[in-house]
Chain A
Amino acid sequence: MKNLLSAATLALAVGASGLAVAEPVKIGMITTLSGGGAGLGVDTRDGFMLAIKQSGNKDIEVITEDDGQKPELAVQIADKMIQSDQVDILTGIVWSNLLMAVAPSAVAQGKFYVSTNAAPAALAGANCNPLYFNAAYQNDNLHEAMGEYANKDYKKLFIMAPNYPAGKDSLTGFKRYFKGELAAEVYTQVGQTDYAAEIAQIRASGADGVFAFLPGGMGIAFMKQYAQSGVNIPIMGPGFSFSQDVLPAIGDAALGVKASGQWVKDLDNEANKKFVADFQKEYNRLPSLYAVQAYDAAQLILSAAANADVKDTEAFRAELLKADIKSPRGNFKFNTNQHPIQDIYVTEVTKEGDVLTNKTVEKIFTDHGDAYAKDCKM
Chain B
Amino acid sequence: MSRETVVNFILAALLLAVPLLANAVGQPFYITLATRIAILALAATGLNLALGLGGLVSFGHAAFFGIGGYAAGILATHGFSGEPLVFGLSGTNQMLVIWIVAAVTAGLAGLAIGAISLRTSGVYFIMITLAFAQMVYYFAVSWPAYGGEDGLSILVRNQFPGVSTMRPLSFFLICYVVLLAAIGLFALIRASRFGSALQAARQNPVRVATVGIRPFRIRLTAFAISAMMTALAGALFADLNRFVSPSMLSWHMSGELIVLIILGGTGRLFGPLAGAALYVIIEYALGGITERWQFFLGLILLGVVLFARGGLLGFIAGKARHG
Asked if chains A and B are in direct contact (CB within 8 A), the reply is yes
Q: Are A97 and B287 in contact (CB under 8 A)?
A: no
* Interface of chain B, main secondary structure: helix
Residue of B whose beta carbon sits closest to that of A121: B150
Known: A72-B247, A105-B153. A165 touches B32 (CB 8 A): no
Q: Are A104 and B153 in contact (CB under 8 A)?
A: yes
In angstroms, Cα B286 to Cα A65, docked, is 11
In angstroms, Cα B168 to Cα A226, docked, is 52
Residue of A whose beta carbon sits closest to that of B31: A83
Residue of A whose beta carbon sits closest to that of B27: A84
Chain A's nearest CB lies how many Å from the CB of B221? 30
The segment from B224-232, B262-270, B290-298, B305-313 that touches chain A is B290-298
In angstroms, Cα B247 to Cα A190, docked, is 13
- Residues of chain B within 8 A of A189, CB atoms compared: 138
A280 on interface, CB distance cutoff 8 Å? no
- Residues of chain B within 8 A of A34, CB atoms compared: 291-294
Residue of B whose beta carbon sits closest to that of A31: B291
Known: A65-B287, A97-B151. A165 touches B144 (CB 8 A): yes
Q: Are A71 and B291 in contact (CB under 8 A)?
A: no
- Residues of chain A within 8 A of B153, CB atoms compared: 100-101, 104-105
In angstroms, Cα B150 to Cα A166, docked, is 8
In angstroms, Cα B27 to Cα A79, docked, is 11
Per-residue interface assignment for chain A, residues 76 to 116, with 1 indicating a CB less than 8 Å from any chain B CB and 0 otherwise: 11011001100000000000110011001100100000000
Q: Are B149 and A190 in contact (CB under 8 A)?
A: yes
Q: Are A79 and B29 in contact (CB under 8 A)?
A: yes
Residue of B whose beta carbon sits closest to that of A77: B287
Task: Return 30 A-B CB contacts under 8 Å, by A number.
Answer: A34-B292, A66-B291, A71-B245, A73-B287, A76-B32, A76-B284, A80-B29, A80-B32, A80-B284, A83-B27, A83-B28, A84-B27, A84-B28, A84-B30, A97-B149, A97-B150, A97-B245, A100-B153, A101-B153, A101-B241, A101-B243, A104-B153, A104-B155, A104-B242, A120-B150, A163-B148, A164-B149, A164-B150, A165-B148, A189-B138
Q: Are A72 and B241 in contact (CB under 8 A)?
A: yes
Q: Are A163 and B141 in contact (CB under 8 A)?
A: yes
B288 on interface, CB distance cutoff 8 Å? yes
In angstroms, Cα B27 to Cα A222, docked, is 48
- Residues of chain A within 8 A of B147, CB atoms compared: 100, 165
Residue of A whose beta carbon sits closest to that of B246: A97
Per-residue interface assignment for chain A, residues 253 to 284, with 1 indicating a CB less than 8 Å from any chain B CB and 0 otherwise: 00000000000000000000000000000000
- Residues of chain B within 8 A of A68, CB atoms compared: 294
Residue of B whose beta carbon sits closest to that of A122: B150
Known: A71-B245, A165-B149. A33 touches B291 (CB 8 A): yes
In angstroms, Cα B153 to Cα A65, docked, is 22
Q: Are A100 and B243 in contact (CB under 8 A)?
A: yes
Q: Are A96 and B150 in contact (CB under 8 A)?
A: yes
Give A1-47 interface residues, CB cut-off 8 Å to B.
33-34
Q: Are A83 and B151 in contact (CB under 8 A)?
A: no
